[in-house]
Amino acid sequence: MNVHALARPEILAMRPYASARGTAAADGVLLNANEAPAALSDDPAWAEMALHRYPAPQPDDLVRRLAAVYQVAPERVLVTRGSDEGIDLLTRVFCRPGQDAIVECPPCFGMYRVAAAIQGAEVIAVPRDDGLRLDVAQLERTIAGTDGPDIKLVFLTSPNNPTGDLLPRRELLRLLAACGDRALLVLDEAYIEFCDAASATDLLDDYPQLVILRTLSKAWGAAGLRCGALLADPAIIELLGRVMAPYPLTAPAIAAALAVTGPGGRARQSRMLAAIAAQKDRLVSTLAGRDWVERTWPGEANFVLARVDDGPGLVAHCASSGVRIRDFSTTPGLANCVRISIGTSEDMQALATALDGWPQARDGSGNETRATS
Ligand SMILES: *Cc1c(COP(=O)(O)O)cnc(C)c1O
């Protein structure tokens, strides 16, 4: 597969910015980047980080660490400021404004569409069915279609946000075949650690059209770091690097990412995942016992989607009790649906208390409305 045939011609033609740290080793006497000679802090932690220096664009140790975590070769790793940056880079490198398109399967993560809009790429939606299941046959037909804009990126999410369902391996293989050498299949695995299913990273060697997005934001408990990895064919990584900011990662973020994924990290993660799974089971059974819950999609991630009697009302009621849950009522196909993330046992206790008060609050406010109208 020739990924250069898919990329925007401007990106292929441009000469990327050559940064000091990107073009020379960071050893010896460093007088090539107009940096200050020292950091203005006495804190040894800052000194150790060499805060006065531009960090490596792709720090070797972090690339190797994430390659080990995700079990891929280091050449296949692009460390990003979270998956949001990966989505943005892919769209900018592969989608010609006004000519190319992305495919998404709503309801899904909102950033695919936003990145496409910013780039001027068309969004072709292949909506999920009434049971919120992926329409794989329609996806195959859409990808194979020859009229309309050129499809460059097919965004799939496993487990999906907000529906929580996995993309089974056999369906992924069908869709990889449909993409062939005409489009990239971008598999967003932001939540894969929360379930038993295997990541698709083992397919990268055989499918150069496959791009996988991973993140430290969810199952590594580090959303504040803004750090993730895009895993792909080295030719794709090279193209994305042309568009990426010269120094995307901050020195504190690099240090923290190494610490989070370092010694003891896996054990800490396992404990957290087990605690989340236990709290999630409890939430699912609590919801099952409430007559105002019409349906739940427990899914495979660290959240539960539920259709209730009055989604916006419930979200407002919970907020008045100091608990924030997410309203999806205005998303097509998700009328009166709310998404609840799994927190600590204290968080979930506060939620349960708020949920206990919902029927009364709902009926009370209903009476009020009648009384005043
Ligand atoms: C939360 C989430 C992400 C994470 O994005 P980051 O930029 O890495 O924080 C990516 N994809 C999906 C579907 C998500 O829900």
Each residue's pLDDT, cut to its tens digit, for the chain (373 residues) gives 899 999 999 999 999 888 999 999 999 999 999 999 998 888 888 888 899 999 999 999 999 999 999 999 999 999 999 999 999 999 999 999 999 999 999 999 999 999 999 999 999 999 999 899 999 999 999 999 988 889 999 999 999 999 999 999 999 999 999 999 999 999 999 999 999 999 999 999 999 999 999 999 999 999 999 999 999 999 999 999 999 999 999 999 999 999 999 999 999 999 999 999 999 999 999 999 999 999 999 999 999 999 999 999 999 999 999 999 999 999 999 999 999 999 999 999 999 999 999 999 999 865 444 444 3
Does 88 sit in the ligand 1 pocket, CB within 6 Å?
Answer: no
Question: What is the identity of the amino acid at 130?
Answer: D
Does 327 sit in the ligand 1 pocket, CB within 6 Å?
Answer: no
The β-bridge partners of 73 are none
Beta strands in 46-121 (DSSP E): 77-80, 100-104
∠ Cα 127 128 134 (to 5°): 120
Instruction: Report the distance separating Cα 58 and Cα 262, nearest Å.
Output: 18
Does 83 sit in the ligand 1 pocket, CB within 6 Å?
Answer: yes
The DSSP-derived string for 166-215 is ---HHHHHHHHHHHTTTSEEEEE-TTGGGSSSPPGGGGTTT-TTEEEEEE
pLDDT of residue 48: 84
Instruction: Report the distance separating Cα 119 and Cα 97, nearest Å.
Output: 6
Does 82 sit in the ligand 1 pocket, CB within 6 Å?
Answer: yes
pLDDT of residue 365: 65
Instruction: Report the distance separating Cα 51 and Cα 63, nearest Å.
Output: 20
Whose tokens are 């794709």? That residue is 236
Question: Residue 127 Cα, ligand 1 centroid: separation in angstroms?
Answer: 20
Full set of structural domains in the chain with CATH: 3-19+54-262 (3.40.640.10), 266-357 (3.90.1150.10)
First to last CA, the chain: 66
Question: What is the identity of the amino acid at 273?
Answer: L
Q: H helices of 221-320, where? A: 234-243, 251-260, 265-288, 311-320
Question: Residue 353 Cα, ligand 1 centroid: separation in angstroms?
Answer: 29
Instruction: Report the distance separating Cα 248 and Cα 17, nearest Å.
Output: 13
Indicate which atom in ligand 1 lies nearest the CA of residue 215.
8
Q: Which residue puts its alpha carbon closest to atom 8 of ligand 1?
A: 82
pLDDT of residue 172: 98
Q: Which residue puts its alpha carbon closest to atom 14 of ligand 1?
A: 190
Question: Residue 82 Cα, ligand 1 centroid: separation in angstroms?
Answer: 7
Does 161 sit in the ligand 1 pocket, CB within 6 Å?
Answer: yes
Instruction: Report the distance separating Cα 159 and Cα 130, nearest Å.
Output: 18
Q: What is the reported pTM?
A: 0.96
Whose tokens are 């925007």? That residue is 8
pLDDT of residue 285: 96
